[in-house]
Amino acid sequence: LKNGDKLFKATVNNVEIGVNIKSNNRSGGYLLQHSGSDVYAQVLSLRNAELYKFMPKLEKNAKPTELTSPITGKIIKFKVSEGDEVKAGQELLVIEAMKMENIICTDYDVKIKKIEFSENDAVGVGQTIISFA
Amino acid sequence: MTNKLLIANRGEIACRIIKTCKKLGIKTVAVYSDADTNSLFVQMADESYNIGPAPSAKSYLNIEKIIDVIQKTGANLVHPGYGFLSENAKFVEELEKRNIRFVGPSSQSIAMMGDKIESKKIAIEAKVSTVPGHMGIVSESSEAKKIAKKIGLPVMIKASAGGGGKGMRVIYDEDKIADAFESTTNEARNSFGDDRIFIEKFIENPRHIEIQIIADKEGNVVCLGERECSIQRNNQKVIEEAPSPFIDPKTRKKMYDQSVKLAKKVDYFSAGTIEYVVDKDKNFYFLEMNTRLQVEHPVTELITGLDLVGLMIDVALDKKLPFTQDDIKLNGWAMESRIYAEDPARNFLPSSGRLNLYIEPDENEHVRVDTGIYEGGEVSMFYDAMIAKLCSYGKNRDEAIEHMKRALSNYAIAGISHNITFLETIMRNARFCSGEISTNFIKEEFSKGFLGNQLDSQDKRDLISTAMFIYNKNYSRNSRITGRLSKESKQINDRWVVMLDDESYLVQILSHSEEEMIINCDNTEIKIATY
Closest chain B C-alpha to A84 CA, distance in angstroms: 25
Span of B191-195, B366-370, B394-398 with lowest mean pLDDT: B191-195
What residues does B207 pair with on adjacent strands? B278
Question: Measured between alpha carbons, how far is B207 from A108 in angstroms, rounded to an integer?
Answer: 37
Give the mean model confidence (pLDDT) for residues B490-497: 82
User: Do B318 and B303 touch, CB atoms closer than 8 A?
Assistant: no
- Quick check: B238 contacting A, CB < 8 Å? no
For residue A25, which residues of chain B lie inside 8 Å, CB to CB? Answer: none
Inter-chain residue contact A41 with B498, CB threshold 8 Å:
yes
Predicted model pTM: 0.82
Q: What is the pLDDT of residue B368?
A: 97
Confidence of residue B339 (pLDDT cuts 50, 70, 90): very high
Inter-chain residue contact B466 with A41, CB threshold 8 Å:
yes
Q: What is the pLDDT of residue B413?
A: 93
User: Do B374 and B409 touch, CB atoms closer than 8 A?
Assistant: no
Q: What is the pLDDT of residues A36-56, one digit of tens each?
A: 888 999 999 999 999 988 888
- Number of A/B CB contacts below 8 angstroms equals 169
Question: Measured between alpha carbons, how far is B417 from B312 in angstroms, rounded to an integer?
Answer: 35
Any idea what the Cα angle at residue B332 is, between residues B329 and B334, rounded to 5°?
A: 110
The pairing of strands A128-132 and A85-86 is unpaired
Span of A21-30, A94-103, B356-365 with lowest mean pLDDT: A94-103
Q: What is the pLDDT of residue B164?
A: 55
Inter-chain residue contact B467 with A43, CB threshold 8 Å:
yes
Q: What is the pLDDT of residue B135?
A: 65
Helices within B74-208 (DSSP H only): 89-97, 107-114, 116-125, 141-151, 177-192
If 0-12 CB within 10 Å is exposed, 13-18 middle and 19+ buried, where does residue B334 land? buried
pLDDT at B104 over 70: yes
Q: What is the pLDDT of residues B110-148, one digit of tens each?
A: 999 988 778 988 999 999 998 888 767 788 888 888 888
Select from A21, A43, A69, A72 the residue whose CB has the most chain B CBs within 10 Å, as the one to mutate to test that interface: A43
Closest of A129, A131, A132, A133 to residue A95, by C-alpha: A129
Chain A residue closest in CA terms to B54: A98
Give the mean model confidence (pLDDT) for residues B307-312: 97
The mean predicted confidence, pLDDT, of chain B is 91
Give the mean model confidence (pLDDT) for residues A58-71: 78
Span of A114-123, B116-125, B190-199 with lowest mean pLDDT: B190-199
- Quick check: B531 contacting A, CB < 8 Å? yes
Inter-chain residue contact A71 with B453, CB threshold 8 Å:
no
Question: Measured between alpha carbons, how far is A125 from B446 in angstroms, rounded to an integer?
Answer: 26
Q: What is the pLDDT of residue B165?
A: 59
Q: What is the pLDDT of residue B499?
A: 93
Inter-chain residue contact B529 with A10, CB threshold 8 Å:
yes
Confidence of residue B163 (pLDDT cuts 50, 70, 90): low
Inter-chain residue contact B462 with A98, CB threshold 8 Å:
no
Q: What is the pLDDT of residue A61?
A: 61
Cis peptide before B243 (omega within 30 of 0): yes
pLDDT at B280 over 60: yes
Could you give the percent of chain B with pLDDT greater than 90? Answer: 69
Confidence of residue B352 (pLDDT cuts 50, 70, 90): confident
pLDDT at A72 over 80: yes
> Which residue in B228, B241, B288, B336 is the catalytic one?
B288
Of B350, B420, B528, the CB nearest to A100: B350
Question: Measured between alpha carbons, how far is B476 from B479 in angstroms, rounded to an integer?
Answer: 5
Span of B64-68, B132-136, B271-275 with lowest mean pLDDT: B132-136
Give the mean model confidence (pLDDT) for residues B157-166: 70
Question: Measured between alpha carbons, how far is B341 from B385 in angstroms, rounded to an integer?
Answer: 5
Of B406, B412, B495, the CB nearest to A6: B412
ipTM: 0.72
Q: Which of residues 185-204 of B touch A (CB under 8 A)?
A: none
Active site residue B288: yes
User: In the Cβ-directed half-sphere of A72, how many Cα atoms lie within 13 Å?
Assistant: 17
For residue B420, which residues of chain A lie inside 8 Å, CB to CB? Answer: 33
Amino acid letter, A22:
K
User: Do B115 and B160 touch, CB atoms closer than 8 A?
Assistant: yes
Neighbours of B386 (CB within 10 A): 22
What residues does B504 pair with on adjacent strands? B499
pLDDT at B487 over 80: no
Chain A residue closest in CA terms to B403: A16
Confidence of residue B276 (pLDDT cuts 50, 70, 90): very high
Q: Which of residues 245-304 of B touch A (CB under 8 A)?
A: none
Q: What is the pLDDT of residue B71?
A: 95
Select from B409, B465, B501, B518 the residue whose CB has the most chain A CBs within 10 Å, as the one to mutate to test that interface: B409
Q: Of A127 and B188, which is predicted with more confidence? A: A127
Confidence of residue B168 (pLDDT cuts 50, 70, 90): confident
Q: What is the pLDDT of residues B361-375, one digit of tens each?
A: 999 999 999 999 999
pLDDT at B308 over 60: yes
Any idea what the Cα angle at residue B37 is, between residues B35 and B40, rounded to 5°?
A: 105
> How many angstroms separate the first and last alpha carbons of chain B?
51
Q: What is the pLDDT of residue B150?
A: 84
pLDDT at B486 over 80: no
